[in-house]
Copies of this chain bind each other. A is one copy, B any other.
Amino acid sequence: MTIASPAPAAIVAPPLPRGFTAACVSSGIKASGAPDLAMLRCPNGAVAAAMFTTNRFAAAPVLASRRNLRDSRGHCSALVVNSGCANAATGPEGAADAEAMIDAVAAACDCTPAAVLVNSTGIIGKRLPIDRVTGAMPALANACAEGACEPFARGIMTTDTRPKMSTRTVAGSGGAEIRVTGMAKGAGMIHPNMATTIAAVTTDAEVTPAELDGMLRHAVERSFHRISIDGDTSTNDSVFCLASGAAGPAKDRAALQKALDEVLGDLARMVVQDGEGFTRGLEVHVRGAANDADALLIARTVATSTLVRCAVTGGDPNWGRIVAAAGRSGAKIDPELLIVKAGGVTLFQQGAPAAVEKTVAERAFSQDSVVIELDLGLGGGRDFFLSSGLTEDYVRLNADYST
């Protein structure tokens, strides 16, 4: 397993696939007046799949969307996400608010409530100003337009500094071009608890609900399940995937999967790079592990180690922290066989420090992204994990700002 794609060049507002329209409005949830309500419509309907947070405190809109997706047997006419309030841990009132939001979308889009998916992102434990949300819905539905995906990407932002979008095209079986376009929000936390990651991926490929579900799970496993900002799983994390079918089936199913993998890979990387206090990326690649599960365990443990992340921030080639983190991961390791590299430079092998110039090692830790490789020498297990340096800014932003 490798990273789905290299760091993408800046992509400005890629187009939506055929069969989708989008818009955002400022409904008054955010005091700043920034856009806070985003809609993605599929006027002729779409096949839908989604993956939701495993947090036991899944937010009210997550629970409602999970039910709707089941009731509609994987179909959707509109996805609406508000930012500025997570509608999580809000009790029966929060559940009623999510239902009111769904009903307002169904009325504005002339579809059944079961064909509506919703989510919310922002502060936990605060109720939605539901009248403002439902009141804005007709105008939002009317504003939906073909073309750019940016309105949706902007409307779901919380403390993100930029919208996150990515696109790919693959050949359709009838000669038509199939497009896959994704939008995501990141894990900024200037206001507490805005830890939510939400992504929506659209395609005009024709697929069945079961196919789409399988393809989404494959892509998420290689993207959003391989990143961490701070180790905290939010109550609202969701990835939605909608397929309008307007371009017919893909010529090559594997190519469509690859496009989906790459779009989600791009978005996951963008989320890391726009994380609170971000200064430098951290990529950990593991191979030669006893099995893939061990490889993931080591990659995740090293990438999320507080001490390794501090070393990355400081540009310090502190391989001792890397081997210590690998050593506590629980995975099978033979210290004599392990090779640790950073930026291609060998730092540790045969159970001892490698002979390497300090300036050479420091250079490997001074890149925009520090790439650490561990070869266990035990088997064929491979995996990776993406993270970032832990910075004082991250701590300040999450300590100093008040609920």
Task: Pull 19 A–B residue pairs with CB atoms less than 8 Å apart, ordered by A.
Answer: A56-B326, A56-B327, A56-B333, A57-B323, A88-B324, A89-B335, A94-B352, A123-B320, A124-B324, A192-B320, A193-B324, A195-B307, A235-B323, A235-B327, A306-B306, A317-B403, A391-B399, A392-B396, A395-B395
A232 and B305 contact, CB distance less than 8 A:
yes
Give every chain B residue within 8 A of A90 (Cβ-Cβ).
352-353
Indicate with 1 or 0, residue by residue over A301-336, a CB within 8 angstroms of chain B CB atoms: 000011100110110111111011111100001010
Give every chain B residue within 8 A of A55 (Cβ-Cβ).
324, 327-328
Give every chain B residue within 8 A of A193 (Cβ-Cβ).
307, 318, 320-321, 324
B328 and A54 contact, CB distance less than 8 A:
yes
CB distance from A353 to the nearest CB of B (A): 5
A89 and B352 contact, CB distance less than 8 A:
yes
A217 to B138, CA, bound (A): 65
Give every chain B residue within 8 A of A324 (Cβ-Cβ).
55, 57, 88, 124, 193, 195, 232-235
Instruction: Please give the count of copies of this chain that the complex contains.
Output: 2
Give every chain B residue within 8 A of A327 (Cβ-Cβ).
55-58, 233, 235
Indicate whether A346 reaches chain B with its CB closer than 8 angstroms. no
* Complex: chain B residue closest to A192, CB-CB: B318
A348 and B125 contact, CB distance less than 8 A:
yes
A396 to B392, CA, bound (A): 6
Interface centre among A90, A235, A307, A326 (most CB of B within 10 A): A307
Indicate whether A230 reaches chain B with its CB closer than 8 angstroms. yes
A321 and B232 contact, CB distance less than 8 A:
yes
* Complex: chain B residue closest to A236, CB-CB: B324
Give every chain B residue within 8 A of A91 (Cβ-Cβ).
350-353
Indicate whether A33 reaches chain B with its CB closer than 8 angstroms. no
Give every chain B residue within 8 A of A125 (Cβ-Cβ).
319-320, 323, 348, 352-353
A314 and B352 contact, CB distance less than 8 A:
no
Contact of A311 among B54, B318, B335, B399 (CB under 8 A): B399
Q: Which residues of A contact B (CB under 8 A)?
A: 54-58, 86, 88-94, 123-125, 189, 192-193, 195, 230-235, 305-307, 310-311, 313-314, 316-321, 323-328, 333, 335, 348, 350-353, 389-392, 394-396, 398-403
A394 to B396, CA, bound (A): 12
B399 and A314 contact, CB distance less than 8 A:
yes
B57 and A335 contact, CB distance less than 8 A:
yes
Give every chain B residue within 8 A of A123 (Cβ-Cβ).
320
* Complex: chain B residue closest to A351, CB-CB: B91
A318 to B90, CA, bound (A): 14
A92 to B335, CA, bound (A): 12
* Complex: chain B residue closest to A335, CB-CB: B57
Interface centre among A54, A90, A123, A193 (most CB of B within 10 A): A193
Give every chain B residue within 8 A of A399 (Cβ-Cβ).
310-311, 313-314, 316, 389-392
Give every chain B residue within 8 A of A319 (Cβ-Cβ).
125
Give every chain B residue within 8 A of A396 (Cβ-Cβ).
392
Give every chain B residue within 8 A of A234 (Cβ-Cβ).
324
A305 to B401, CA, bound (A): 17
Contact of A351 among B92, B307, B351 (CB under 8 A): B92
Give every chain B residue within 8 A of A233 (Cβ-Cβ).
324, 327-328
